[in-house]
Structure 1
Amino acid sequence: MSLSTFPGRLALLSSALVMAWPLIAGAQTEPAAKDAEAQEPEKLGTVVIQARGRTETLQSVPMSVKAFSAKAIEDAGIRKPGDFVAITPNLSLAETQSVGTSFMTIRGLSQVRNGEAPMAVVVDGVIQSDAKQFTQELFDVQSIEVLRGPQGALYGRNASGGAILIRTKQPGNRFGGFGQLTLGTGGEKVLQGALSGALVEDRLFFRLAGSVTDREGYFDNPGLGRKADSYRDETLRGLLTWNVTSALTLDLRTNFVRDRAGGGNFQYQPTHLKADCTADEANAFDFTRLDPNVASRIFCANNMGRNTRDMDEVTIKADYDLGFATLTGVASHNKINEYLSGDQFPYTATRNLFGMFDGTQSQFVDTRSDSVEVRLTSPTRKGLRWMGGLYGLRTQRFISTTTGSDLGKGVDFISYDPAFSSATNPTLSWFADHNRNTASAVFGNVDYDLSPKVEASLALRYDRDEREQRVDTRQSVGVPAGCSGANPSACTKTATYSAMQPKISLRYKADDGSLSYASLGKGFRSGQFNQSGVGAAAAGASPPVNGVKDQIGAETTNSFELGYKTLLLGGALQLNTAVFKTEVKNAPYFVFIGSVGAQVLVPLDKVSLTGGEIEAVAHLGSGLDAYAGLGVTHSEIKAYEVNPAAVGKQAPYVPKVSANLGAQYRFAISPGLNLTLRGDLMLKGKQYWDPENSLARGDITLLNLRVALGDAKGRWSAALSVNNATNKLYNAEWVSGGFTAPALPRIVRLDLRHNF
């Protein structure tokens, strides 16, 4: 399916309103008007969220939450998940390798390459079944909520670090929409838009939203004379809402994504490069050059990286009001297909360095999943509130990883079959397997008001994850003994992971704006298989990598949290704080073995995490708001069988500090014209990349700026934004051994938007 002809474009940037909201806010009501005679401070708006599956205010929920409303999303210029992560304390995100690859760290729990995410991502009430779905374009979005701390009792087996709830804009009776054109550096052109209205008044509604992004890229490959990171995204979303009766509502949601991009762009620091991008064979490997703080925006691979991602989703949701409760059923089908190919270690324009280095590599992943959830939710009222339900997920995944001989004729497209006899790019190594996973869960939670000021909550979820891996008999190495086409049972491995995830919370609400809470919860991240045979390949690598196995066990966490939320200065200052202590068993860590193109996971047996967040939003005057956030996470490895010498070191991929500071000023320059000025300063703290803490990337400070002009009625706007305004050069990822990928440079964008 080609999406290149569908119309329109919506945008995620423009000018506007109170800046308090981008940091904490998802404000649903306007700030109270200031009484000029009384000179009372203007209050911040009420923030309405759905963190516990029902409508509540931010200041009443006993958990650490950062929320963004639709207006806050526009004000902050949020286009991709990395944008809201950057201004959320104790979150970090690295995006490298491919459009579907990202590494989230939340309160010290990290996502690693080929691993499960440490948080659940829920879009319009549907849990994403694959981490590759996360890095989509964010447009036509109504709200985003980031829940920090274990949420497995409510959101499932991978929510040990938290959950991210995304809600798209919903249709109503009024016909309308918007279109936005964006022009930016890197040859970027973006068109987004949406149409929404009623097909039958009060009964049947529709919303259609689309986005097309076309970008030449930001990074050069002088050896090939091309940009290394071209990107084209086509996304089309549709929503039908049918009020069948006063009690029954049906939603049909579709989402189609087609991505075509550069990918597999890595650099290898020890290699000296000549001006023509070839390797200096007289000084090919200089390991004194290893430094996470040294970055380059030049790529020299002789094979252009190629990356495609296709995603199709169809979801049906039904809500039926039974009077005493609401019965909700959700069924979702997803197809995800991603392909990545490119040059191999050491990523230079030289082919077959010393007759043994260089080549090609590729990976193909085809995933199909079906999920069903049924839940019963009581009305939101004083006294007793409850929810209970069942969840099921069935996933089929095929994955192949290939290395090939570089004959200078390009890279073969390798998916389900190797090409050992290819005349252009013969396959050298081939790892492939078919996976069938079945996950099921039963869950429930009860909130009970012990008194008008005290609430006790108990949430409980039992998850069971059954996994099966069937190795392709044509695999180069690592085929199980006896495995053959005539004996497929010998090719199959099975494993079952399960856990009970309880969470207990106690909340004391002193008044409408202040509360204290304590919670204790357990998290569970399912184990998984590495590709069969990578353990042997790792042991035989040069140098060998010990401790790699074909299977990694489940991660479990035990977390304790204390929090306090309050409104001060008559409601003009909002202050929310939380501290936590988490003990982690079997935390996954990624190891890349360049000489064999292997990407594998090993466990950190025990890790201790201690930290907290403090966030403040202040209304300083008419149209002027400021906000600040600070997150701290101290990590310590307590046990690591692969390398006991790493005990006492910091956990990899965990910044010790993350912080943001910003302000927004909105004022009228004429009776019908408003101007908005905004600045965001973000700090990414020092972090290590391996358990041995061999080298660290230092603190990174980034500055985003934005100015927007719009009419007072919100019909049109023009906005100029600059991300990474100082053009800070740093690495988005640094893998032990010197494999690097640079972060994005300064990006300037102009948005022109019309609402109708």
Structure 2
Amino acid sequence: MGMSSHARRRSFLGETATAALIALASAQGVSAQVAAPEQDTEASTAIGDIVVTATKRATKLQDLPESIKVIDSVQLENSNVQNLRGFVQLTPNLLVRETFRSNETFLTMRGISSAQGALPPVAFVVDGIQLGSNDFINQDLLDIERIEVLRGPQGALYGQGAIAGAINVVTKQPTNDLSINAKASYGNADTMRFAGSVGGAIVEDTLFAKVSGYYKRSDGLIRNNAGTRITPYEQGYVRGQLNYESGDFHGYLFGSYTKGNGNCCIQDIVNKRQNGVIVPGFRTLTGAYTLVDVDDVTGNPGPTSNVLGKSWERFRNAGLKLEYDFDPFSVSLVSGYNYVRQRIYGDADYTAPSAGITQLVQDIPFTTRVFNQELRVTSRDTGPFKWLIGAFYQKRREVQDIAVGLDPGAPLNQRPGSISTFVLRQNNVTRSTSYAFYANASYDITNRLQLSGAFRYDRDRQSAVNTLAAGSNKAHTFTQPQPKVQLSYKFNKDLLVYSSYSIGFRSGGYSQNSAFDNELTKNYEIGFKSTLFDGAAVLNAAIFHIDYQNQQISFVQLQPVVLRQVVNIDKTGIDGLEVELTAKPTENLTVSAGVGVVNTTIEAISANALTTGLDLNALIGNKSPLVPPITLNGSIDYVMPLSDNYSLLFHGDYRREGGYNFDLANTIRTGTQDLINGKIALQTGRWQAGIWANNLTNNRYATNVGVTGIPYRYPNQPRSYGVELSFKL
């Protein structure tokens, strides 16, 4: 007799806990027996002494009882990371998926995924200011000091948008010294990028300024079956900031503007043969079909749309942070404003005209406006008791003017507004007003034992209406307390163990003509953090279990009826672990490795639009869609001295993503994927010149798949390569 899902989870947790303890004991034993390299003491100490601010208080990374990955400016530069997709390559249990438009990205962290039309599962924070739209996370990263990836719910601090975790980006701030940075790169498909920044003091020690920006363009790396490049883009970005320091007062103001155009709707329809006749469909585990590989994105049949999709975008982003240090505490006032204006126009059937498939186009302008306001009071870092209290307010308005209609028939040169016969016509307006109050405290029971607790209460009032349909008004208020308790024990300065319990929350909402419920997670985690070889290496690990209620899953169906909905899975169980190692065995060599494991199990599910035609009982025990069971990553950086002034940098990184399912029935599945990136550069003082390559082996696969109606898929980016030149002052 097979084990129940609960028994399997207990077995999984027991085995992984045992493995983690064995690894810890082994590592500590080796550390005690082997001396650190003498020449590397200063550099290796820096590995274990990184300070992070993602919990809204500066804390040494190895003293923080959280599973957190930190990528510093050197790693970002060496690995040629330019945006979110780049640093995901270096992070276990984090998956990014490209979708139908160039500025939309879906995230999966610890088995919790984005759903189109729902709030993101991961909070995205830049310099302490939380961004209100997922579209901003796809902008290029400039002048980054470090990126902190917190895995596990951070709702007690960041609210309903952090049910899976948070990504905290810290930029380099201007100082009294003049700083100039410039970089130019050129790659295949006539891809070019120019980026730079200038910063310094306007009034010494008091007023500082920085201006940064980039311009990038490309013909696009993906071609359709006719040989036409279908993923071109062009984008410009500028950002300005001011910093003010006067005694105990600190001020920070920034604003940015982005303008560009890109691509959309490049999916293709996958064919299979049934009784010798070609019909649309994916490879499945059963059925009288000639099997077709969902990852065969360069053939069978490849993109064949007769309308070349395009997108237009305008982003505005602004933030203000004011802080005053009183004697026993500091007060922070944080304001943020985000504006997104985009429009997509492209094929909606993803085929050239053919019999049996209705020829459709889509024209969708949409806007998002978000205003955040936060007030926070933080105690000093002295003494055994530390605390933080705050209040948060958010106003959000989204408008989607959806038009899907019959293809007018002129190939490749359609323009917005050309639809005359509509299959779907909606103007959906969603409004949201959110309030939250939160508190966080920690107490050092002894100089080794610390107890921490946090609590947040969120209230989110949402309303939705299709202004083109009478009587379509809907409204609902979502509320949820989010507590968190942590206990940590420090055996010595190099070993911390911790355990935690927390509740995560993501609001429900409205998609097209239906409502979906809010998500709730109960999270259990234990872990350790260790510093080895006198600071030359760190080894961290965590295991976790999540009881997941009302998991949000989105789908888009184009044939025979156009649908876009978010549905819920009643109950899902998630077990997993993360293990990460970073080491600097010599002054010139840095290596890192990580593994993330996630095991998801559907435990209960009710009938919904995504289960039509499926046996609900047969779905129990299946895996959740869009969750790779394992992610492996590793990187190596080696600097070879050539002379007193010159050196060669060699960088390589590798990532493996285990195959995962796109559907509830677990019949449509992508395979295991291996991705390799590399860079070689000549360095001399302020200059660097190099060559780089991403997806070196040109591994091609599907990142997004439609599982209802006529099946479609979205391909990943093929191999890219180029040269770059950079300068720093």
TM-score, normalization by structure 1: 0.86
Provide the C-alpha distance between the structure 1 equivalents of 2:655 and 2:121, rounded to a whole number of angstroms: 23
How far residue 471 of structure 1 moved from its aligned partner, in angstroms, is: 1.7
SS in 1 for 2:479: strand
How far residue 369 of structure 1 moved from its aligned partner, in angstroms, is: 1.6
Residue of structure 1 aligned with 2:525, choices 536, 551, 561: 561
How far residue 657 of structure 1 moved from its aligned partner, in angstroms, is: 0.2
Pairing 1:173–2:176 present: yes
SS in 2 for 1:134: helix
Q: Show the counterpart of 1:131.
A: 134
Provide the C-alpha distance between the structure 2 equivalents of 1:412 and 1:188, rounded to a whole number of angstroms: 25
After superposition, residues 305-704 of structure 1 pair within 5 angstroms as 305-345=309-349, 347-350=350-353, 353-354=355-356, 357-409=358-410, 410-414=413-417, 425-473=420-468, 479=469, 483=470, 490-532=471-513, 550-595=514-559, 596-642=561-607, 643=611, 644=616, 645-704=618-677
How far residue 57 of structure 1 moved from its aligned partner, in angstroms, is: 1.1
Provide the C-alpha distance between the structure 2 equivalents of 1:568 and 1:364, rounded to a whole number of angstroms: 54
Q: Show the counterpart of 2:7.
A: none
- Tell me the alpha carbon deviations over residues 497-540 of structure 1, each in whole angstroms, 9 at most, x when there is no partner: 110000000111122221000000000001010112xxxxxxxx
How far residue 68 of structure 1 moved from its aligned partner, in angstroms, is: 1.2
Q: Show the counterpart of 2:235.
A: 233
- Judge conservation of contact 2:43–2:587 (CA < 8 Å) in 1: no
How far residue 249 of structure 1 moved from its aligned partner, in angstroms, is: 1.7
Provide the C-alpha distance between the structure 2 equivalents of 1:291 and 1:496, rounded to a whole number of angstroms: 44
How far residue 619 of structure 1 moved from its aligned partner, in angstroms, is: 2.1
- Partner AA of 2:539 in structure 1: L
Q: Which moved more, 1:71-80 or 1:493-502?
A: 71-80
Q: Show the counterpart of 2:244.
A: 242
Q: Which moved more, 1:260-269 or 1:95-104?
A: 95-104
How far residue 691 of structure 1 moved from its aligned partner, in angstroms, is: 1.3
For structure 1, list consecutive stretches of 5 or more residues without a partner in the other structure: 1-31, 273-280, 415-421, 474-478, 484-489, 533-549
SS in 2 for 1:570: helix
Matched positions, count: 670
Pairing 1:726–2:697 present: yes
SS in 1 for 2:626: coil
How far residue 99 of structure 1 moved from its aligned partner, in angstroms, is: 2.3
- Judge conservation of contact 1:432–1:531 (CA < 8 Å) in 2: no
How far residue 295 of structure 1 moved from its aligned partner, in angstroms, is: 2.0
- Partner AA of 2:694 in structure 1: N
- Judge conservation of contact 2:79–2:678 (CA < 8 Å) in 1: no
- Tell me the alpha carbon deviations over residues 219-238 of structure 1, each in whole angstroms, 9 at most, x when there is no partner: 11354x63100011111111
- Partner AA of 1:334 in structure 2: N
- Tell me the alpha carbon deviations over residues 576-633 of structure 1, each in whole angstroms, 9 at most, x when there is no partner: 0000000110011112211233221111111100011000112223412221100000
How far residue 571 of structure 1 moved from its aligned partner, in angstroms, is: 2.5
Pairing 1:214–2:217 present: yes
- Judge conservation of contact 1:607–1:637 (CA < 8 Å) in 2: yes
Residue of structure 2 aligned with 1:739, choices 704, 712, 715: 712
How far residue 290 of structure 1 moved from its aligned partner, in angstroms, is: 4.7
For structure 2, list consecutive stretches of 5 or more residues without a partner in the other structure: 1-34, 283-288
Provide the C-alpha distance between the structure 1 equivalents of 2:456 and 2:167, rounded to a whole number of angstroms: 18
Question: CA separation of 1:314/1:42 partners in 2, compared to 1, >3 Å: closer, same or farther?
Answer: closer
Provide the C-alpha distance between the structure 1 equivalents of 2:692 and 2:723, rounded to a whole number of angstroms: 7
After superposition, residues 47-58 of structure 1 pair within 5 angstroms as 47-58=50-61
- Partner AA of 1:430 in structure 2: R
Question: CA separation of 1:498/1:408 partners in 2, compared to 1, >3 Å: closer, same or farther?
Answer: same
Q: Show the counterpart of 1:84.
A: 87
- Partner AA of 1:463 in structure 2: D
- Tell me the alpha carbon deviations over residues 374-407 of structure 1, each in whole angstroms, 9 at most, x when there is no partner: 1001111231111111100001111122112212
- Judge conservation of contact 1:99–1:309 (CA < 8 Å) in 2: no
Question: CA separation of 1:282/1:255 partners in 2, compared to 1, >3 Å: closer, same or farther?
Answer: same
Provide the C-alpha distance between the structure 1 equivalents of 2:587 and 2:175, rounded to a whole number of angstroms: 32
Provide the C-alpha distance between the structure 1 equivalents of 2:630 and 2:247, rounded to a whole number of angstroms: 50
- Tell me the alpha carbon deviations over residues 630-670 of structure 1, each in whole angstroms, 9 at most, x when there is no partner: 00000000111124231110000000000112221112111
Provide the C-alpha distance between the structure 1 equivalents of 2:683 and 2:620, rounded to a whole number of angstroms: 56
- Judge conservation of contact 2:109–2:165 (CA < 8 Å) in 1: yes
Question: CA separation of 1:553/1:40 partners in 2, compared to 1, >3 Å: closer, same or farther?
Answer: closer
Question: CA separation of 1:39/1:72 partners in 2, compared to 1, >3 Å: closer, same or farther?
Answer: closer
- Judge conservation of contact 2:79–2:652 (CA < 8 Å) in 1: no
Question: CA separation of 1:411/1:41 partners in 2, compared to 1, >3 Å: closer, same or farther?
Answer: closer
Provide the C-alpha distance between the structure 1 equivalents of 2:318 and 2:583, rounded to a whole number of angstroms: 41
- Judge conservation of contact 1:471–1:491 (CA < 8 Å) in 2: yes
Question: CA separation of 1:69/1:41 partners in 2, compared to 1, >3 Å: closer, same or farther?
Answer: closer
- Tell me the alpha carbon deviations over residues 694-742 of structure 1, each in whole angstroms, 9 at most, x when there is no partner: 122121111111111111x3x1101211111111121122332531111
- Judge conservation of contact 1:231–1:259 (CA < 8 Å) in 2: yes
Aligned-residue CA RMSD (Å): 2.1
How far residue 51 of structure 1 moved from its aligned partner, in angstroms, is: 2.5
Q: Show the counterpart of 1:121.
A: 124
- Partner AA of 1:318 in structure 2: L
TM-score, normalization by structure 2: 0.89
- Partner AA of 1:754 in structure 2: F
SS in 2 for 1:157: helix
Provide the C-alpha distance between the structure 1 equivalents of 2:334 and 2:41, rounded to a whole number of angstroms: 50
- Tell me the alpha carbon deviations over residues 303-342 of structure 1, each in whole angstroms, 9 at most, x when there is no partner: 0101122110121110111121111001122211121121
- Judge conservation of contact 1:219–1:299 (CA < 8 Å) in 2: no
Provide the C-alpha distance between the structure 1 equivalents of 2:524 and 2:390, rounded to a whole number of angstroms: 25
Provide the C-alpha distance between the structure 1 equivalents of 2:627 and 2:675, rounded to a whole number of angstroms: 18
SS in 1 for 2:78: helix
Percent identical:
28
- Judge conservation of contact 1:361–1:597 (CA < 8 Å) in 2: no
Provide the C-alpha distance between the structure 1 equivalents of 2:59 and 2:383, rounded to a whole number of angstroms: 12
- Judge conservation of contact 1:360–1:411 (CA < 8 Å) in 2: no
SS in 2 for 1:59: helix
Provide the C-alpha distance between the structure 1 equivalents of 2:675 and 2:407, rounded to a whole number of angstroms: 39
Provide the C-alpha distance between the structure 2 equivalents of 1:42 and 1:200, rounded to a whole number of angstroms: 37
